Amino acid sequence: MIRHRLNIQETIATVITEERFLQVAEDEVCLQRKNLQDYIRRHPEFLTSLRPCESLLGAPEIVQDMTDRASRVGVGPMAAVAGAIAEYTVKAMVRDGASHVIFDNGGDIAMFIDYPVVVGVYAGRSEIKNLGFKFEPEGRIVGICTSSATVGHSLSLGRADAAIVVSPDVILADVAATALGNAVKSSALHDIRTSLDCVMTDGITGMMTIIGRSSGWCGELPDICRADVDFDLISRGERD
């Protein structure tokens, strides 16, 4: 297994897999980016809408998936872009024979694993640190996606240091993480609980949010463990 930094336009990701599958990953990212860019040129509102919108006749499959999942949690379709590219890329690699793949697209992770993996959580200025989730092989793709108002450059309308969603549907995990991050406005436990309840929907395995010293979760999450998070290994939007 090797760790490879993939840098294709706005897609800045880390891929962990066998070296022979890296070209498959690059090709799929390029293909799906082209599909999205072609659609956005014809329908620019897809890029800017902060609310759900319908995919139009003839839309690429990735666009249809993004609009469908976004509509389920009430956010704009581009909230799904990182998770969608991650999921499509891992699916392509698995079809080509990869048995162990982790694709970290700026904190939105799709993985198909054949041995246990610990995913660390970076919650920025929060005092809750060194937290991780231990994932066991499931024989299917699993997503863990994160949104934050205090880490990174993505738009968040809330105040969460980390809003984390686990689901076998990576695209749903991505939009739900955005929706959860938008919903969390304070560290009050009532606000955290209400936010989790509002976002939880069919297809989501579990969720957690961290804000300051407070946290809350719902559903079923992987085993929580200690993780020494190396900031230098985090995939983030800084160009080479």
Name every residue whose Cβ is closer than 8 Å to that of residue 128 and which is 6 or more positions away in sequence. 161, 210, 213, 215
Residue 239 confidence (pLDDT) above 50: no
Residue 236, Cβ neighbours under 10 Å: how many? 14
Residue 192 confidence (pLDDT) above 60: yes
Residue 236 confidence (pLDDT) above 70: no
Residue 229 confidence (pLDDT) above 90: no
pLDDT at 157: 79
What whole-number distance in Å separates Cα of residue 235 and Cα of residue 215? 24
Q: Identify any residues that bridge with 211 across adjacent strands, giving them in sequence order.
A: 214
What is the pLDDT averaged over residues 195-207?
Answer: 97
pTM of the predicted model, to two decimals? Answer: 0.92
Q: Among positive and negative, which fits the CA dihedral 135, 140, 141, 146? A: negative
| % of residues, the chain, pLDDT over 70 | 94
Residue 238 confidence (pLDDT) above 50: no
Mean of per-residue pLDDT scores for the chain: 92
Give the model confidence (pLDDT) of 138-191 as tens digits.
Answer: 999 999 999 998 876 666 778 899 999 999 999 999 999 999 999 999 999 999
pLDDT at 79: 96
Residue 122 confidence (pLDDT) above 80: yes
Q: Which of 81, 196, 205, 82 is nearest to 138 (CA)?
A: 205
* 143, 174 contact by CB (below 8 A): yes
Q: Which of 178, 182, 152 is nearest to 165 (CA)?
A: 178
26-30, 91-95, 126-130, 176-180: the lowest-pLDDT one: 126-130
User: Across 24-33, 54-63, 128-137, which has the greatest mean pLDDT?
Assistant: 24-33
pLDDT at 123: 85
pLDDT at 233: 61
pLDDT at 232: 65
* 164, 208 contact by CB (below 8 A): yes
3-state helix, strand, coil in the chain (%, to 5): 35, 25, 40
Residue 240's pLDDT band (boundaries 50, 70, 90)? very low
Give the single-character DSSP code of 97: T
Domains of the chain: which residue ranges? Answer: 2-230
Chain centroid, CA 209 distance in Å: 14
Residue 230's pLDDT band (boundaries 50, 70, 90)? low
Selecting from 3.40.50.300, 3.30.70.1450, 3.30.530.20, 3.10.520.10, what CATH number does the domain 2-230 have?
A: 3.10.520.10
Using a 10 angstrom Cβ sphere, with 0-12 exposed, 13-18 middle and 19 or more buried, the burial of residue 128 is middle
Give φ, ψ of 110 to 5 degrees: -115, 135
Helix (H, G, I), strand (E, B) or coil at 24: helix
